[in-house]
Copies of this chain bind each other. A is one copy, B any other.
């Protein structure tokens, strides 16, 4: 079938094959512990379909997406109703990517999917720091009796890292206990991204995992998410913070909590696609 023009089946600009890729994108369509509004499971497919509306060129970084360096591996086939099994598959995937010398970039799914990806990264890089962009502290000891929950994911990460290894930005929702815990145990920059340079300074020459809960964005620009919180950062503030992090050694990353169906205009998905493009460009050498 020569000469028949076909549309790509991968995320925009992620057309490398696995072996030649430096970065591997994969979807983790799991939202089984979402307590308020589920639907982030639909994010990876939505991003794959809608990314063709985007350009490969970023005027913000004056860069084109690199050819043959980023692979879109597709979406994991995850069970619902058994959180443990789902997390294990994610961990195995992230670990396999990291062990082959590549950088995983995961598209959630709910925020809990970040836990196994970070575990995998910690197993290779025990001194890893985590940069956490989010509206929510996600530091609960448990939620309705469950320790594995999207509301507890950074607390579970804390259980692995201990003090001052999680750098939280944008947090504007949580219990009083979570805010107290954050002030004590994480490097805590609530409400916005204004002090992102602090992270850049502190983390120079350190391995970093970046987890972006897209609900750090204002609900005006990103309504398509499970637990919307007004008062967030603007798209340009997020992009500028991402670009600020470019000098760091980001060994893995994720963007989570797009729930595309809540925004019938499609703009939340378009926003997520663009954040992903800028993230991938920041992680390219």
Query: Which residues on A are within 8 Å of B, measured CB to CB?
Result: 1, 3-7, 9, 18, 29, 31-39, 41, 45, 49, 52-57, 59-60, 62, 64, 73-83, 85, 89, 92-93, 96, 112, 143-146, 148-149, 171-176, 179, 190-191, 218-221, 223-224, 227-231, 234-236, 239, 261-267, 270-271, 274
B contact residues around A3 at 8 Å (CB): 92
- Min Cβ gap A212→B in Å is 14
B contact residues around A79 at 8 Å (CB): 143-146
Do A230 and B82 have beta carbons less than 8 Å apart? no
Do B274 and A230 have beta carbons less than 8 Å apart? yes
Question: Bound state CA distance, A284 and B26, in angstroms?
Answer: 35
- Identical copies of this chain, number: 6
- Min Cβ gap A277→B in Å is 11
Do B266 and A190 have beta carbons less than 8 Å apart? no
Do B219 and A271 have beta carbons less than 8 Å apart? yes
Report which of B78, B81, B267 forms a contact with A223, defined as CB distance below 8 A: B267
B contact residues around A82 at 8 Å (CB): 83, 145-146
Question: Bound state CA distance, A207 and B218, in angstroms?
Answer: 35
Report which of B148, B173, B230 forms a contact with A81, defined as CB distance below 8 A: B148
Listed A/B pairs (22) with beta-carbon separation below 8 Å: A4-B92, A4-B93, A6-B73, A7-B29, A7-B76, A32-B32, A37-B266, A38-B41, A49-B49, A77-B144, A79-B145, A79-B146, A80-B149, A81-B112, A82-B146, A219-B270, A221-B230, A223-B263, A223-B267, A228-B266, A230-B270, A264-B265
